[in-house]
Amino acid sequence: MHRRLVGGSKWRDDIALSASISIHKLSGPLLGIRGQYRSMLHVFPTLDALSEAAAQRVAELLTSEEPDRPYLVALSGGSTPKQLHTLLATTYRDEIPWKRVHLFWGDERWVPHQSPDSNYRMADETLIRDIPLPFGNIHPVQTGLSTPLASAEAYEREINTFLRELDRPGLDLVILGMGDDGHTASLFPGTPVLHERHRLVAAMEAPPYAKVKDRVTFTYPLINRSRHILFLAAGEKKREPLTAILNDREEALKQYPAAGVEGLVTTEWFVDEAAVGRKAA
Ligand code: 6PG
């Protein structure tokens, strides 16, 4: 069942109370199809408007609860989140308590951090270098290790240690994009990583059409333990997977990996009119 909030209205985190209930579901399957899909769809006329609203939502989440509680966020790669990053680093820079924020990456291309293909580099250029984030709060995938598997294992250890120390099941917020083929993070259609049920982070080989073959990615078991998921999707090329996911998520999962993602508390889609094929209300 989809709960749709269309347009840029201000909303409350009104189902936060269900968090404790959802956490118990961790003992069940982690793929994400847990009966009810509590997703919210927000449609905006343009990528600019979508980015404004997403930045407002992220700022709202980062300023929620006690300001000292560490807030664990995973960023995505791709180009859609660039404007969101810039807004967080300008309009919202001074209101966000950056000291509490820890940044991780939902996926990374296995290239040096200086590479133009690096997701870390994109986030550094659009966000990190312009905000007062303590150095120790930046947790990139270490792509300089001997193999992608070594990088994935090291990242999993780092995240596990973090979660154990904080006594939490997962991250607070995972920001994701979606490819034209319905992939999200580096969960590509038809790849073995989609069947991973134990590892939290995996090394994988993306299909030949993807920009960089070797990648490290959060798996469903980690993504679906996050409290909040925020998907950003813009442009007509996203229409096919998005329509399929919104129409029948279980059916869509056969083809589009993004359909398997569900946050413990919220799953929100910030999309533009071109992606959804209809006007914002
Ligand atoms: C990556 C990503 C990937 C991305 C989508 C959407 O490293 O490639 O994290 O999952 O989010 O491909 O990318 P765009 O925002 O460029 O459409």
Q: Does residue 213 have its Cβ closer than 6 Å to ligand 1?
A: no
Question: What pLDDT digit, counting tens, does each position of 143-160 carry?
Answer: 999 999 999 999 999 999
Number of C-beta neighbours around residue 81 at 10 A: 25
Write the residue with the smallest CA distance to atom 13 of ligand 1: 78
Residue among 274, 207, 262, 197 nearest 235 (CA): 274
Question: What pLDDT digit, counting tens, does each position of 162-171 carry?
Answer: 999 999 999 9
Q: What percent of the chain has pLDDT over 90?
A: 82
- Atom in ligand 1 nearest the alpha carbon of residue 215: 7
Is the confidence at residue 3, as pLDDT, over 60?
no
Residue whose entry in the numeric block shows the structure tokens 């939902």:
106
Q: Does residue 179 have its Cβ closer than 6 Å to ligand 1?
A: yes
Question: What pLDDT digit, counting tens, does each position of 99-109 carry?
Answer: 999 999 999 99
Give the pLDDT score at 28.
Answer: 28
Q: How far is the CA of 178 from the centre of ligand 1 (A)?
A: 6
Averaged pLDDT for residues 194-203: 97
Residues 23, 25: Cα–Cα separation, whole Å: 5
167: left (phi over 0), alpha (psi -120 to 50) or beta: left
Write the residue with the smallest CA distance to atom 11 of ligand 1: 177
Sequence-ordered list of residues with C-beta below 8 angstroms from that of 129, at least 6 positions apart, any chain: none
Q: Does residue 207 have its Cβ closer than 6 Å to ligand 1?
A: no
